Amino acid sequence: MAEPVVEIRGLRKEYAGRKGSHVAVADLDLTVHEGDVHGFLGPNGSGKTTTIRMLLGLASATRGSMVLFGHQVPASLPEVIGRVGAVVESPKFSPNFTGRQNLTLLARSVGVPTQRVDAAIETVGLTGRDRGRYKTYSLGMKQRLAVAATLLKDPRLLILDEPTNGLDPSGIREVREMIRDLGEAGVTVLLSSHILAEVQQVCTSATIIGNGRTLASGTVTELLGGSTSQRLVVPDQAAARAALEAAGLQVTGSDGEALLVESDQPAEVTRVLGEAGIWLTGLAPVRADLESIFLTLTEHDGLGSDS
């Protein structure tokens, strides 16, 4: 397996408030291997952005360990930041400067040759608009400029926090294609998102968090494969539900005509129902998508936190 580029263990962030402390991230674990396009999934307020901000030194951790390229951060952040490009939340630039001026200032602050500004502008398709003031840019252009800023350093790790927020469909597609291209070019990407389809489309692995804790982690195939449901058509749904639950199987829902049972063993489901005298009129495996995995995990976690 490739070397881990990001390794987070037992990360915790507490905010002190008048009514006591508030836990935004609670003992979170996250590993991203070199070359991965890793989805970082969680509902709004689950602690994704806080985790990224701690990783990049913008916020301090209450406790836990964070390693980037084998270096403990934030202590060794100056040694590795040159290999990390990041867009955290919405793009933030000086509104009265042009896009080019904003990029030039950032490039020169770390000694990046200003020729790379031209390359970055061209890569994100802002050529011709780079001399316009940032405040006149559309949201899509602002997002592109933020991506251009991350490319200035020729990063080996790209951290993108909700990069498609506010973009129109064509903008979303362009950003997703860009992420895929970067991944294929060997850049490791950590993509924070609450858009499940986005992660499923572009990521090779993912970590799902809720209430600041890691709920599941692995390759997208592993996450999907480990949670197959069976769709059962039975004459008496109430009796079938009772029999299945008595046998320890979890009924995750009903679509009116059929019951959904979380199990990857149809033979076991058939046996339980047969022993209860309930005869199936239909049985089909339901291949889970990331959305159902996510909803199942987060429902169990009782989410809705405001962290």
Partner 1 sequence: MIALLRVELDRLRWRRAVLALLALGVVVPVIIFVGTVLTSQQKSLAELREDYGPSIDDSISECQARPRQWGVDPDGDVAAACTDRISASYGNQRLNLREQREAGSGPAIIAVLAMLMLLLGTTFAGHDWNTGSINNQLLFEPRRQRVWLAKLVAVGLVGGVLALVVLVAHWTGLHIVTSVRDLDQPPQALAAAYKQAVLGAALVAAAGVLGYALTMLLRSTVGTLGVLFASGFLGIVAIAVGFAGSERFMPWSNFMAFVVGRYTYFVTDSCFASDCNPERHVDRSDAVVYFLVILAVVATASLSTFRRRDLP
Token pair 């149809």 is found at 266
80 or 196: CB nearest partner 1 = 80
Least distance from C-beta 112 to partner 1, angstroms? Answer: 9
Residue recorded with tokens 């040694």: 79
Angle, to 10 degrees, between the axis of helix 99-109 and the axis of helix 115-123? 130
Among 10, 21, 44, 78, binds partner 1 (CB under 8 A): 78
203 forms part of the interface with partner 1 (CB under 8 A): no
119 binds partner 1 (CB under 8 A): no
Please report, as residue ranges, which positions from 126 to 165 form the binding site for partner 1 (by CB under 8 A): 149, 153
**Rounded to whole angstroms, what are the CA distances from 91 to 14, 139, 144, 189, 278?**
26, 9, 9, 18, 58
Contact 258, 225 (CB under 8 A): no
Closest CA to 191 of 290, 284, 273, 79: 290
Q: Residues binding partner 1: what is the number (CB under 8 A)? A: 30
110 touches partner 1 by CB under 8 A: yes
* Residue positions counted in the chain: 307
CA-nearest of 269, 220, 263 to 243 is: 269
Using the rule CB under 8 A, which residue among 17, 20, 111, 169 binds partner 1?
A: 111
CB 49, min distance to partner 1, A: 12
Could you say which of 94, 114, 127, 265 contacts partner 1 (CB under 8 A)? 94
Site residues (vs partner 1, CB under 8 A): 53, 56-60, 74, 77-78, 81, 84, 86, 88, 90, 92-97, 101-102, 105-106, 108-111, 149, 153
